[in-house]
Amino acid sequence: MIFKRRDPKTWMRATAEMLWPRGGWARAFHYVKHRVRRLPDSPERIARGIWAGVFITFTPLFGFHFFFAVLIAKIMKGNILASLMATFVGNPLTFVFITLASLKTGHWMLGTELQEGELRALSRKFADAGSDLWHNFISIFTPEKMDWSGLAIFSRDVFYPYLMGGIVAGTFFATIAYYMAVPVLRAYQKRRRGLIKQKFEALKAKTAAKAEEKKLAAKEKKENANG
């Protein structure tokens, strides 16, 4: 196949690059920033897409961030590609900050308190919830009894406060991202249009100069022939 990779990725390599991209996160960030700025759309539509992508990264809807980013972007009439790229905000380097912001805000809203060591217990609670879902699914076809205890603890201690806090924290940071993105995108697009216009004028002048040279050469040739 024409576009087939010469060195197909193994699942281990693909997983590793999700956690640490080739060239590091700084290079990946600059690549995404460059791609977002060059999107062929108005600054406001691109910024609305960014809003959707940043907002959804603060929610505990892991595995569905792309889907909901696109859905929100469509509702807001924002740029779809910008919303997908903006989910890059949620990465291993920012996960702790995003989780803390969402959980602390959620517990504050619910009048509860984030327990010490809660972050360290997150992976275990996620695992327990996933184990319950799998066990209960298998129980449909076997004599095993359903057990919702792990899922109940996860919902009470993690998912619900994370979701509530994520909506507030996500709205706050997404709005900041929107108002920062609009003037930057507008300035970039204006500068880019100026550069394209300069290149066009330079090409136009070059073409005119060549045409004039040909005209003079033809005139000189004609004069020499008559002489």
Percentage of the chain beyond pLDDT 70 is 74
Quote the CA–CA distance of 49 and 195 in Å, as a whole number: 26
Q: Which residue is listed with tokens 């919303």? A: 83
Quote the CA–CA distance of 58 and 173 in Å, as a whole number: 9
Quote the CA–CA distance of 178 and 43 in Å, as a whole number: 10
Q: Decide which of 62 and 172 is more confident.
A: 172
User: 109: how many CB neighbours lie within 10 A of its CB?
Assistant: 13
CA dihedral 41→43→48→53, nearest 10 degrees, is: 80
- Mean pLDDT, to the nearest integer, of 80-91? 85
Quote the CA–CA distance of 185 and 44 in Å, as a whole number: 9
Q: Decide which of 190 and 180 is more confident.
A: 180
- Mean pLDDT, to the nearest integer, of 48-59? 93
- Flag whether the pTM goes above 0.75: no
List the structure tokens of 131.
């184990």
Quote the CA–CA distance of 92 and 60 in Å, as a whole number: 14
List the structure tokens of 176.
């900041």
Per-residue model confidence (pLDDT) at position 16: 47
φ/ψ bin of 111: left (φ > 0), alpha (ψ from -120 to 50), beta (otherwise): left
- Mean pLDDT, to the nearest integer, of 97-115? 86
Q: Which residue is listed with tokens 């469509």? A: 74
Q: How confident is the model at residue 7 (pLDDT cuts 50, 70, 90)?
A: low
pLDDT at 175 over 50: yes
Helices (H) and strands (E) in the chain, counts: 9, 0
CA dihedral 210→213→214→220, nearest 10 degrees, is: 180
pLDDT at 57 over 70: yes
Are the C-beta atoms of 98 and 42 separated by less than 8 Å?
Answer: no
